[in-house]
Amino acid sequence: MQLTIRMPDENMLKIEYIAKKMGLKKSDVARMAIKAFLDQHDEPSVERPYAKVENLLGIAESGLSDLGYSHREHLIEKIKGTQK
């Protein structure tokens, strides 16, 4: 697909300079710039947060039945080296 754009001479001179410096065509530089712009402005997925990690949930077993409730205490014990 082809795209034709108009731009100020100042920008065109910069594109020509960059293209020559990098050994690319002006169209290559334009494609790279457009891709970077699109990547930067890509809409985040509307996926629920749970769906992003659901494959990880429940795959680890700590052996501590109250880990969710007493995680701070367990962490302190682990740091001190007094973990049961």
Q: Is residue 2 part of a domain?
A: no
Gap between the Cα atoms of 38 and 3, Å rounded: 15
Q: Tell whether the model's pLDDT for residue 27 goes beyond 70.
A: yes
Report the number of distinct structural domains present in the chain: 1
Would you place residue 8 in the very low, low, confident or very high pLDDT band (cuts 50, 70, 90)?
very high
Structural domain boundaries enclosing 26: 9-80
Of 46, 84, 81, nearest to 65 by C-alpha is 84
Q: Is residue 3 part of a domain?
A: no
Per-residue pLDDT tens over the stretch 46-73 = 677 877 788 777 766 777 778 778 888 8
Q: What is 36-79 written as a DSSP string? A: HHHHHTPPPP---HHHHHTTTTT----S-TTTTTSHHHHHHHHH
Gap between the Cα atoms of 36 and 14, Å rounded: 17
Give the global pTM.
0.49
